[in-house]
């Protein structure tokens, strides 16, 4: 029955709208105007512009669009979500080339010949970094790294170990990667990264293996952290702007895109008579939201809104929205919606304008107010910046929770707006990690008193190795360094799948299970250098068992990370 009523209403709306749109509408208009005058005289209310209501209904109703030749458009609508994704991927490739902000910076890698370390060295070189690597055997290191694709002639190789560090090793160093890992097989110590008083290549004793492991994984890392704190360059922000912008919604020509994507949502939808429009400015690089607002019929607002985007815009990893506008001294609302519902939650930020003056405004996502039918939702649910389905501009008599707009005036209004941008403070060199440590997801077995599987080969050695890594983590977390501790799950050799196939977990309530390629681990370690969200964090990483996810880039992957809560180097809930 409801479907029948809805279809009947829809057909009536479409028929009425087409009737009004016909060339021969004089008779219809005469009848409607006469009825409007009788209504106004009888009730004292302004006549309701039913035609505009129908047009609004048709514009925002996907089914209705199919019935309306005036609103239906040829070709596809612009897809801002897909365009933003493309821009972010393009930006990601720049970080991995010699045009990277890290180009020319010295990076120290400890464990460069390991199966993760060698991939990391190649990654760093391709980004333009000068790689300084601590190795035991220079000839062997060159062979391994050359086979991996590194430019060995450009490497700065230091022959030594974690107990032979000197201040010179940290000269002009921007960041340190510690990606060491002691082998569980007692016959492979020739590739070790530390000298010990005995010939470890012939170790058969588990006791001696433990001594060696502690020297490398705990005492060695402890010494590295000590030197890094003393001599690591107190880096300043790189020679790039601290604020990074992303063009989210462009108002460039063709002008038809504006009217195809934006439509008025005025108080006509609730019986009012206000009206608004959005159009491309004369110079073609901005839009003008203008109209006339009236409080007749208990109305008092006018707005323009985008149709829901086919692909949601993912702005995870960004701080907020940047706007530049020319106002008229009134207060407007900028609204974001995170679903396709017509009557869903609106995230609202009020902006004050100055008459005849261009103004810049940075709208933090965390300061958008969740509102439903003019009432603030409590407790406040945060805006999900990874799923933005529409934008809206509004001029209204009403604020929130029965409060009124202090600058509201009936009559004409006008707001000129440049493109909509997202922004973030990248904090490169001042807030991003400077010490990246490769740990293991299984370390959380120790913190949660969960036993390793009995069937695990070399189980007792693995437990001791994890114990040493856990102690090293505590040293790092207790230091003054901006660190990032990466705990990968079981690693395998093979090509990386990319950040949109990865999953990170910081809750650490139970050990994370899964697998991940060493190439992806190297990529994650590399990209922590560009993310302030990854600073002072410990997190586990694995391939997503459910396949591809929505993460666009590593800033998106790291966007939910929170700084570690630490007590004496230990993580606390």
Longest dimension (CA), the chain: 106
pTM (predicted TM-score): 0.78
What are the CA-CA distances from residue 206 to residues 185, 213, 399, 459, 461 (Å)? 11, 10, 71, 12, 8
Does 90 reside within a domain? no
Q: Identify whether 379 is preceded by a cis peptide bond (ω within 30 of 0).
A: yes
Q: Quick one: 19 and 40 in the same domain?
A: yes
Does 89 reside within a domain? no
Q: What is the pLDDT of residue 196?
A: 38
The contacts of residue 169 (CB under 8 Å, 6+ apart) are: 108, 132, 134, 158, 160, 227
Q: Quick one: 405 and 419 in the same domain?
A: yes
Radius of gyration of the chain measured on its C-alpha atoms: 31
Does 84 reside within a domain? no
The enclosing domain of 116 has a CATH number of 3.40.50.720
Does 256 reside within a domain? yes
Among the candidates 425, 448, 465, a domain finishes at 425
Q: Quick one: 31 and 140 in the same domain?
A: no
Give bridge partners of residue 566 from the DSSP assignment: 571
Q: Quick one: 359 and 449 in the same domain?
A: no
Q: Which 3 state secondary structure label does DSSP give 470?
A: helix
Give bridge partners of residue 488 from the DSSP assignment: 541
Does 92 reside within a domain? no
How far apart, in whole angstroms, are the C-alpha atoms of residue 158 and residue 65? 68
Domain that holds residue 27: 1-72
Among the candidates 49, 72, 95, a domain finishes at 72
Does 82 reside within a domain? no
Q: Which 3 state secondary structure label does DSSP give 291?
A: strand
Helix (H) or strand (E) holding 221: helix 221-231
Q: Quick one: 267 and 401 in the same domain?
A: yes
Q: Quick one: 170 and 196 in the same domain?
A: yes
β-strand 537-543 against 483-488: which pairing, if any? parallel
| 506's tokens | 């910081």
Q: Helices (H) and strands (E) in the chain — how many of each?
A: 14, 26
Does 77 reside within a domain? no
Digitized pLDDT (tens) for each residue of the chain, 573 residues in all: 434 334 444 444 444 444 344 344 344 444 445 555 555 555 556 787 777 887 887 788 777 665 555 444 445 677 898 889 888 877 777 677 666 788 899 999 999 999 999 999 999 999 999 999 999 999 999 999 999 999 999 999 999 999 999 999 999 999 999 999 888 754 443 333 433 333 334 445 678 888 989 999 999 999 999 999 999 865 554 555 678 899 999 887 776 678 888 999 999 988 899 999 999 998 888 999 999 999 998 899 999 999 999 899 999 889 999 999 999 999 999 999 999 988 899 999 999 999 999 999 999 999 999 999 889 999 888 999 999 999 999 999 999 898 999 999 999 999 999 999 999 987 777 889 999 999 999 888 777 666 777 666 677 888 899 999 999 999 999 999 999 999 999 999 999 988 889 999 987 666 678 899 999 999 999 999 999 999 999 999 999 888 777 777 888 889 889 999 999 888 887
The enclosing domain of 335 has a CATH number of 2.60.120.430
Q: Quick one: 364 and 501 in the same domain?
A: no
Q: Quick one: 432 and 421 in the same domain?
A: no
* DSSP label of 481: S
Does 211 reside within a domain? yes
- Domain tally for the chain? 3
């Amino acid at each position: 029955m409801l479907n029948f009523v809805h279809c009947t209403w829809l057909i009536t709306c479409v028929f009425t709208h087409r009737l009004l749109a016909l060339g021969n509408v004089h008779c219809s208009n005469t009848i409607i105007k006469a009825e409007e005058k009788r209504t106004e005289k009888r009730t004292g209310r302004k006549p309701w512009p039913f035609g505009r209501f129908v047009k609004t209904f048709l514009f925002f109703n996907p089914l209705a669009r199919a019935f309306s030749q005036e609103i239906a458009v040829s070709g596809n609508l612009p897809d801002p979500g897909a365009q933003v994704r493309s821009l972010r991927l393009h930006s990601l490739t720049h970080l991995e080339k010699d045009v990277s902000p890290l180009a020319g910076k010295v990076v120290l890698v400890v464990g460069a010949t390991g199966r993760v370390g060698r991939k990391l060295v190649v990654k760093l070189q391709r980004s333009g970094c000068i790689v300084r690597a601590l190795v035991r055997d220079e000839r062997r290191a060159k062979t391994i790294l050359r086979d991996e694709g590194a430019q060995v002639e450009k490497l700065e190789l230091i022959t030594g170990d974690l107990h032979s560090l000197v201040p010179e090793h940290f000269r002009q160093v921007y960041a340190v990667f510690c990606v060491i890992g002691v082998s569980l097989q007692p016959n492979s110590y020739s590739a070790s990264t530390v000298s010990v008083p005995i010939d470890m290549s012939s170790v058969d004793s588990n006791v001696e293996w433990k001594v060696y492991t502690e020297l490398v994984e705990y005492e060695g890392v402890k010494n590295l952290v000590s030197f890094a704190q003393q001599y690591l360059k107190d880096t300043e922000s790189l020679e790039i702007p601290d604020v990074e912008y992303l063009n989210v919604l462009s108002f460039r020509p063709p002008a038809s895109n504006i009217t195809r994507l934006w439509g008025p949502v005025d108080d006509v939808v609730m019986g009012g008579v206000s009206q608004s429009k959005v159009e491309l400015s004369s110079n073609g690089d901005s839009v003008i939201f203008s109209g006339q607002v009236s409080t007749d019929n208990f109305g008092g607002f006018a707005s323009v809104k985008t149709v829901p985007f086919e692909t949601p815009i993912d702005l995870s990893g960004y701080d907020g929205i940047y706007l530049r506008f020319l106002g008229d001294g009134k207060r407007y609302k900028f609204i974001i919606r995170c679903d396709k519902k017509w009557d869903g939650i609106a995230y609202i930020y009020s902006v004050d304008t100055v008459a005849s003056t261009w103004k810049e405004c940075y709208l933090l996502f965390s300061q958008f107010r969740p509102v439903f039918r003019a009432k603030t939702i409590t407790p406040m649910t945060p805006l999900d910046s990874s799923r933005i389905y529409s934008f809206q501009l509004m001029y209204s008599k009403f604020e929130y929770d029965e409060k009124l707009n202090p600058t509201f005036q009936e009559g004409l209004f006008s707001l000129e707006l440049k493109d909509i941008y997202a922004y973030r403070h990248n904090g490169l060199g001042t807030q991003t990690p400077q010490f990246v440590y490769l740990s293991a997801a299984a370390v959380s077995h120790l913190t949660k008193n969960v036993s390793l599987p009995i069937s695990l080969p070399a189980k007792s050695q693995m437990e001791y190795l994890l114990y040493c890594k856990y102690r090293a983590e505590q040293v790092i977390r207790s230091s003054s360094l901006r660190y990032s501790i990466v705990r990968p799950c079981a690693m395998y050799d093979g090509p990386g799948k990319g950040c949109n196939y990865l999953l990170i977990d910081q809750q650490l309530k139970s050990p994370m299970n899964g697998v991940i390629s060493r190439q992806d681990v190297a990529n994650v370690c590399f990209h922590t250098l560009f993310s302030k969200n990854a600073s002072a964090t410990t997190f586990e990483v694995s391939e997503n068992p459910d396949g591809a996810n929505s993460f666009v880039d590593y800033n998106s992957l790291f966007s939910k990370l929170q700084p570690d809560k630490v007590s004496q180097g230990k993580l606390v809930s």
